[in-house]
């Protein structure tokens, strides 16, 4: 099958959502959004989602488990949606691994009541040349699945997307200010969606229905990939939904849970040190000199530390240490432990 764009995919599912799809390319946010659109186009009843919308990620995937999921018929519907996410096709160097995936996908002919989406994170499949016809492993998979390429939007298109996103939140924003937001925060659409929501909430709190450029400078985080500091800040502020969203991005990108845990443990430890020194009346420069932490970084951390009560920071550091221990020595699921940590704070 020839490669189609995400825009072609959107048009197709409005007419007929049936089919099996391979999502790949640069923009992971658009892949996530496309799954939601497909689910809506299929008209999956919310009360029957547990039967008719099944997700399987790389941590739980085995070929046999995928076949078991495909074999289960839908409940009170003609079709069910199955989403397999996070596989790294590049790392399937063992031919039997890739062959077993293909064998599992072959069951789609037998169990034709499925709509399957295999969604590959950016960089996890080789695109040998930019062309309409797929090549390599992409070509092999396209014999079973319709390849859909999700290219990163140009800055101009991204600014228009930002403007539409503000409209969704009932906030007016001109294209120039939306372009400024993209320049300021970067092109990561997960991060931009989060910053837009923050800005919309702030504008409404100021009894405004429009964005000011100063809002971007005062409220938004400068360009930074979603990472440990964003994650830690969301946990500190009790923004559980946002923290879980950031964790889902990390999970999709297959960032090792122990690596995430190590990073946020270090951040919380530094925040506690800085909080104690701020309470002792130390300046940012003095804290930097005594701890060896870069003074600019101290300034960023101090902003977070000042918002937080000492007792809450101490509790978080203690619970983080317990979670780290569980992940290292009890062989528990790493992501599950991180989710428990978020929900318990």
The model's pLDDT over 295-344, given as tens digits with 9 standing for 90+, comes to 877 888 888 888 888 988 888 888 887 787 677 655 455 688 888 888 87
Angle at 231 (CA atoms; ends 227, 232), nearest 5 degrees? 120
Q: What pTM did the predictor assign?
A: 0.64
Q: What is the pLDDT of residue 324?
A: 75
Closest CA to 43 of 34, 52, 51: 52
Between residues 111 and 94, the one the model is more confident about: 111
Give 224's pLDDT tier (boundaries 50, 70, 90): very low
Q: How far apart are CA 110 and CA 274, in angstroms?
A: 61
Residue given tokens 């992940």 in the structure block: 327
What residue ranges do the domains of the chain occupy? 4-149, 155-219, 228-344
Residue 225's pLDDT is what? 44
Sign of CA dihedral 305, 310, 260, 341: negative
Contact present, 288 and 298 (Cβ < 8 Å): yes
Domain 228-344 falls in which CATH fold? Answer: Zinc Finger, Delta Prime; domain 3 (1.20.272)
Class of domain 4-149 as given by CATH: alpha beta
The DSSP bridge partners found for residue 56 are: 84
Tell me the DSSP string of 180-233: HHHHHH-S-HHHHHHHHHHHHHHHHHTT-SB--HHHHHHHSPPS--S-HHHHHH
pLDDT at 92 over 90: no
CATH of segment(s) 155-219: 1.10.8.60
User: Predicted confidence band at 257 (pLDDT cuts at 50, 70, 90)?
Assistant: confident
Which pLDDT score is estimated for 333? Answer: 57
Instruction: Give me the DSSP letters along 14-54.
Output: HH---S-EEEESS-HHHHHHHHHHHHHHHT--GGGHHHHEE
CB 149 within 8 A of CB 3: yes
Q: Does 170 have pLDDT greater than 90?
A: yes
The tokens for 222 are 């400068």
Residue 140 has pLDDT above 70, yes or no: yes
Residue pair 226/249 in contact (Cβ under 8 Å)? The answer is: yes
Average pLDDT estimate for 159-184: 93
């Amino acid at each position: 099958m020839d490669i189609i764009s995400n825009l072609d995919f959107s048009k197709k599912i409005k007419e007929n959502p049936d089919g099996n799809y391979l999502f790949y390319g640069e923009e992971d946010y658009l892949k996530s959004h496309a799954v939601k659109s497909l689910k809506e186009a299929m008209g999956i009843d919310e009360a029957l989602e547990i039967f008719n919308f099944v997700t399987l990620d790389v941590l739980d995937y085995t070929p046999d488990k995928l076949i078991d999921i495909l074999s289960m018929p839908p409940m009170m519907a003609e079709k069910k949606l199955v989403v397999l996410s996070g596989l790294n096709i590049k790392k399937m160097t063992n031919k039997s691994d890739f062959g077993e995936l293909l064998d599992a996908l072959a069951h789609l002919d037998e169990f034709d009541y499925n709509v399957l989406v295999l969604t590959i994170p950016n960089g996890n499949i080789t695109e040998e040349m930019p062309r309409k016809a797929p090549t390599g492993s992409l070509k092999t998979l396209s014999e079973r699945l319709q390849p859909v390429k999700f290219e990163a939007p140009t800055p101009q298109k991204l600014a228009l997307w930002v403007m539409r996103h503000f409209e969704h939140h009932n906030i007016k924003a001109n294209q120039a200010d939306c372009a400024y937001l993209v320049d300021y925060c970067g092109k990561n659409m997960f991060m931009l969606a989060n910053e837009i929501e923050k800005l919309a909430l702030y504008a409404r709190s100021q009894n405004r229905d429009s964005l000011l450029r100063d809002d971007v400078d005062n409220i938004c985080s400068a360009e930074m990939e979603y990472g440990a500091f964003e994650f830690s800040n969301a946990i500190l502020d009790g923004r559980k939904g946002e923290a879980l969203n950031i964790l889902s991005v990390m999970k999709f990108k297959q960032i090792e849970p122990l690596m995430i845990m190590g990073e946020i443990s270090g951040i919380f430890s530094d925040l506690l040190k800085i909080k104690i020194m701020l309470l002792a009346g130390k300046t940012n420069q003095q804290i930097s000199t005594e701890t060896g932490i870069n003074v600019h970084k101290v300034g960023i951390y101090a902003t977070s530390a000042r918002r937080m009560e000492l007792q809450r920071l101490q509790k978080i550091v203690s619970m983080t240490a317990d979670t780290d221990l569980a992940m290292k020595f009890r062989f528990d699921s790493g992501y599950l432990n991180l989710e428990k940590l978020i929900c318990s704070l």
